[in-house]
Amino acid sequence: MKYKTLDDFNFKGKRVLLRSDLNSPVKKGKVIFNERIIESARTIKELQKKRARVVIIAHQGRKGDRDFTSLKQHSVLLGKFVKVKFVDDILGKKALDAIEELKNGETILLENIRYLDEEMKPEKDNKIVKVLAPHFDIYVNDAFSVSHRAQTSIVSFPSLLPSAIGRLMQHELESLEKIKIKDSLFVLGGKKIEEQLLFLNRKKIISGGTLGQLILISRGHNLGLQNKLLKNEMKYLLRLKKHKKILAPVDYAFLVNGKRKEFSLDEMPVNYEVMDIGRKTMEIYRGEIMKAKSILMKGPVGYCEDKKFRKGTAALLKAVASSRAFSVLGGGHLTTVMRDIGLSQKNFDYVSLSGGAFDEYLAGKKLPGLEVLKMQK
């Protein structure tokens, strides 16, 4: 390991600033239980056993998004595994008093760090760093899945505090090093097109989510309302048009009068949002999955927070699990569906809890959060 781990420090009585990734799917304001909570709890538990005084910083969603919310519910979910007290403050007196009052083996979770604008702008001595750093002895980054973001809680502390990676981050890094992805079939879903673009030059791709829709639009299909919803992504059409071999959906599911209804591309309704791939697409994709020797699946192919629309993602996950291929899954949403449909990490060769970070790492990019840890104090 190029990085210091929890084995390299004596944590007894030390104040530890732990960056975890608790970012979770949120449905109607309810934070959904998922693997990130379980895995993040392991590092917390170990630090508690080592008698550290742990302060967790984490985020949920982004300003302006539907899932941008408090971390209060996350502390309850973490509470199934470890004792964690939620403090609804980050830099104020409430937070600082709670940090100072921590006893050995105790843990608090601060409020959503993205509530502070400074989180997104990691200037050297911004308010977050100035206020928090003096209260800590050690910084631990357990958020591999956010380490592709140059954000304050990820990049600013290692130059000021002795730093280590947590167990979840360590496990991700050790597993990613083993993956051979050259000839894999890529099953690409999810909302964030910038992340899917990293893999466009792969030999064999089947597409869902935003990528699938944009591919179709680039080939001249009118997806009705979806064309309007994707207006910010239209700038990628020219680039996508060149990728003629990428398989795209042939039918989609929509929410019509409260029910799931499927339509093929030539009979698409104009006033509804695309919610999932349809049955014909599932069959075609399943056939491709069964032929592959190695598969990398990332991101859901539909709106998987709603049971009606996780069918496509579930069908593909089941196909990947039952195929003989070497299989790798990436992205938090995918692992939530995996669990909901009764599959587990054991059904796949490796399950990453990271989305964008996983992509950038596999695409050979340098992750800012890892780079700073190499140069840590």
- Closest separation in Å from C-beta 206 to ligand 3PG: 21
Smallest separation (angstroms) from ligand 3PG to the CB of 331:
7
Residue of minimal Cβ distance to ligand 3PG: 23
- The distance in angstroms from the start CA to the end CA of the chain is 17
DSSP string for residues in 85-136: EEES-SSSHHHHHHHHH--TT-EEEES-GGGSGGGGS--TT-HHHHHHGGG-
- Give burial (CB, 10 Å; 0-12/13-18/19+) of 356: buried
Kindly state whether residue 153 participates in binding ligand 3PG, applying the rule CB under 6 A: no
- Alpha helices for the chain (secondary structure H): 35-49, 72-78, 93-101, 127-132, 152-155, 167-176, 193-197, 209-218, 225-229, 237-241, 279-291, 311-322, 332-340, 356-362, 368-374
**Per CB under 6 A, does 356 bind ligand 3PG?**
yes
Nearer Cβ to ligand 3PG (35/288):
35
45-84 positions binding ligand 3PG, by CB under 6 A: 62
Site track 312-341 with ligand 3PG (rule: CB under 6 A), x = hit: --------------------x---------
Nearer to ligand 3PG, 312 or 355 (CB): 355
In DSSP notation, 62-73 reads: -TTSTT---SHH
Q: Does 158 bind ligand 3PG (CB under 6 A)?
A: no
3-state secondary structure of 370: helix
**Residue 259 DSSP symbol:** E
Q: How many residues does the chain have?
A: 377
**Out of 355, 361, 367, 372, which residue is the one contacting ligand 3PG (CB under 6 A)?**
355
* Contact string (CB under 6 A) for ligand 3PG, positions 123-152, x = contact: ----------------------xx--x---
Rank residues 107 and 145 by Cβ distance to ligand 3PG and give the closer one: 145
Least Å distance, CB 299 to ligand 3PG, is 10
Between residue 5 and residue 34, which ones bind ligand 3PG under the rule CB under 6 A? 21, 23
d(CA 52, CA 54): 6
* Pick 113 or 214: Cβ nearer ligand 3PG: 113
Distance CA(300)–CA(117), nearest Å, equals 29
Q: Which spans of this chain sit near ligand 3PG (rule: CB under 6 A)?
A: 21, 23, 62, 145-146, 149, 332, 355-356
